[in-house]
Every structure is written in structure tokens, then in C-alpha cells.
Amino acid sequence: MSANETPASHQPPAATRDSAFLRACRREPVPHTPVWFMRQAGRSLPEYRKVRQGIGMLDSCMRPDLVTEITLQPVRRHGVDAAIYFSDIVVPLKAIGVDLDIKPGVGPVVEQPVRSRADLARLRDLTPEDVPYVTEAIGQLTSELGPTPLIGFAGAPFTLASYLVEGGPSRTYENAKAMMYGDPGLWADLLDRLSAITAAFLKVQIEAGASAVQLFDSWAGALAPADYRRSVLPASAKVFEAVAGYGVPRIHFGVGTGELLGLMGEAGADVVGVDWRVPLDEAVRRVGPGKALQGNLDPTVLFAPREAVEAKTREVLDAAAGLEGHVFNLGHGVMPATDPDALTRLVEYVHTRTAR
């Protein structure tokens, strides 16, 4: 078997392979436009808040039964076309021993930020033995999901580096950018380290049964295109290349990335995620041919009355009419205060409106 052939054991069952979601990712004809939502599992769902009571976010990510239940909740409730594995982008960092926590209402906080070569030396490789709960949960999930595809995911090197170097969430990324501009050698080595960890984490998920993967470079929109191309794209490209041989669709997403869409496609994705700032008919010009697009309803639209949600949804679908492959999603994650019924109605609306 050549390096680029998909090992037979990683081919999803035929019904999954033929799902609307995977067909759209491959730019094949679909019975309806597939829909899933970033952060579809989470605080918008009362059943999520209930099972998470008294259990920390990172602890919940390490309990296969809980991961399975939480991942399935939005599939049951909304009838979305794909499940996304319930975890967090910092889970692989925690798994290799980085002292970090996810603080409610804040996000990931790193005890000792990575600012020097000695700090970088603490980031060791990730092996499947570091994350046995991922393999176990995905095994449970793929049998419970039936034909519904499971999306695995990881944080992209830049977005992970932003948390590691800043020590927590940031609006400006001043420490990360100071390293990028001031010590490009250390920066490149840090991103390279993170690309190896990220690739290993995605491989664990694919080998356990994930039938697509999404690389979240949520904060890449903070970068100018030249800096992205020089200092970030090579590391993300390495991640995509590392999982290319499995043949599972690779999705690449960031927020505020209008100016980077072409480069994010170039990094090696099969599907490019678009936030709400660039209409999909413009996004396809920026990304170029040969890639599907995912997006891009503004998540705040869901706070408006049903008629307004439907009108904005039609705008997205109209802009997507000429695409070769379209996966409907929000332009970023579901906001915690979103009415879950509005999400269920949105899935129904997209399915009905695009039924062919």
C-alpha cells in the first residue's frame, strides 16, 4: 500500500461514507445541505448543564461515558448531520503534562507560560497512551452514532501557542507576537513542536473512528497575511500533511480570517470554514476551486425572532448556491445563551429549504 492510500480499517462504513456531510466535504451531490454547529454540545443545552454539574471541564473530557453522552446530546436533539467529539483544544497539552486548567467563563489558563527555550523543552510528544479515554470514547461513539459521521478536532499550532505563550486568553496576543517577531527561531520551533502534538492527537481520533477532522485556528485572524504565511502556515500545513493519507476530509477554521482564506486553503484543507464577515460567494473566490466551504451564519442571529433567522439563513444559502460543496454551520460557536429550540428549527429549515 502506498503512503497516500487509506488503510482499509479507517474507511467509515458505507452508510457513513455516503452521508450528506461527508459527501459535501468531498464536493459530491447531496440530498440536502448538511448542517452541524461548532460548540453544538455545551451550555446552550439544559441536558449538558445537568450532566456537567460538579464536574470540571477538563475532568469531563477524560471520562469516556460522559464524553459519549455529551457528544450525542445535540445529535439527538437537533438532528444535525454530524457529531463533533466533545473535548477541548487544550486536552492534548494537559495530556502531555502542561499545568493548565479551563476556568469557567474565562477559558484555558496556563500556570507557567512558555516564553523560553527551557519552557519549550517541557512540551514532549503525545502518544496514544496519553489519551486512552479518547480512543475509548470514540469507539463507543462510532457504534452509537450509526451512520452519523463523527468529527474529530484539534487546536492549530498558532491558537495553541497563543494560550501557551500568553498564559491565558488574550485580545492582542502581545507576548506570542513578540516571540514571533523577536525570536523567530524559538517561535518556529514552538509551532513545529505543536504541529507534531496536534498531528498525533488527530491521528488517535481518526484511528479510533473519526470520519473527518477540523483544525481550529480560532485566533489566526489576528495575523496579517504575510506573517501568517511566513510564521504560521508551515506548521498548520504539516498537520494537514500528516493526516492526508487517511483520506478523511480535513476542515480548517478560524475567526476574522477574511484576508487569510486563500492561505488557509493552501495550508492543505479540503474544506475551509468561513466566519460571518465574508459572504460565501466572495469566500469561494478567495479560497479558489477544489475546496468545499463551511459556514457561515452569524451566531448572534439566533437571538433574533424566527423570521429574521430564516431571512439571514436564506442569505447564506443563496450565497452558497454556486458552491461545489457546502456544509452549513455558524460563523463561530453556538453562544451559551442561545435558545436550543432555535437551533433545532434552523437545522429543519436548512434541510427543508435545500432538499433536492
Query: Judged by CB, which is closer to ligand CP3: 155, or 265?
Result: 155
User: Whole-number minimum distance, CB 118 to ligand CP3, in Å?
Assistant: 26
Specify the length of the chain in residues. Answer: 356
Residue 216 binding ligand CP3, by CB under 6 A: yes
- In the complex, minimum distance from the CB of residue 344 to ligand CP3, in angstroms, rounded to a whole number: 15
Which among 23, 27, 77, 88 is annotated as catalytic? 88
Could you say whether residue 108 binds ligand CP3 (CB under 6 A)?
yes
Q: Restricting to residues 325-354, which ones interact with ligand CP3 according to CB under 6 A?
A: 333
Let me know if 48 is a catalytic residue: no
Burial environment of residue 17 by CB neighbours within 10 A (0 to 12, 13 to 18, 19 or more): middle
**Residue 287 phi, psi (nearest 5):** -80, -35
Q: Taking the C-alpha atoms of 248, 254, 257 and 263 in order, what is their torsion angle to the nearest 10 degrees?
A: -30
Annotated catalytic residue 52: yes
- Helix H, strand E, coil C: the string for 69-107 is HHHHHHHHHHCCCCEECCCCCCHHHHHCCCCEEEECCCE
> Which region among 20-28, 81-89, 174-182, 237-245 touches ligand CP3 (by CB under 6 A)?
81-89
Interface with ligand CP3 (CB under 6 A), residue from 12, 34, 42, 299: 42
3-state secondary structure (DSSP) of residue 320: coil
| Size of site (CB under 6 A) for ligand CP3 | 22
Q: Exactly one of 54, 104, 182, 289 binds ligand CP3 (CB under 6 A); which one?
A: 104
Return the SS3 of 282: helix
Of 5, 3, 1, 18, nearest to 211 by C-alpha is 18
Whether 88 is catalytic: yes
- Identify whether 296 is preceded by a cis peptide bond (ω within 30 of 0): yes
**Rounded least distance, CB 289 to ligand CP3, Å:** 27
Interaction between residue 220 and ligand CP3 (CB under 6 A): no
Can residue 86 be called a binding residue for ligand CP3 (CB under 6 A)? yes
Q: What is the rounded radius of gyration, in angstroms, for the C-alpha atoms of the chain?
A: 19
Q: Which of 102, 145, 222, 223 binds ligand CP3 (CB under 6 A)?
A: 102
Note whether 89 binds ligand CP3 by CB under 6 A.
yes
In the complex, least distance from residue 50 CB atom to ligand CP3, rounded to whole angstroms: 12
Instruction: Tell the smallest beta-carbon distance from residue 10 to ligand CP3 (Å).
Output: 22
DSSP 155: E
Q: Are 211 and 150 in contact (CB under 8 A)?
A: yes
All three cell numbers of 349, joined, read 429549515
Q: Which set of grid coordinates corresponds to residue 323?
A: 458552491
| Residues of this chain that bind ligand CP3 (CB under 6 A) | 38-43, 52, 57, 84, 86, 88-89, 102, 104-108, 153, 216, 218, 333
Residues with catalytic function:
39, 43, 52, 88, 163
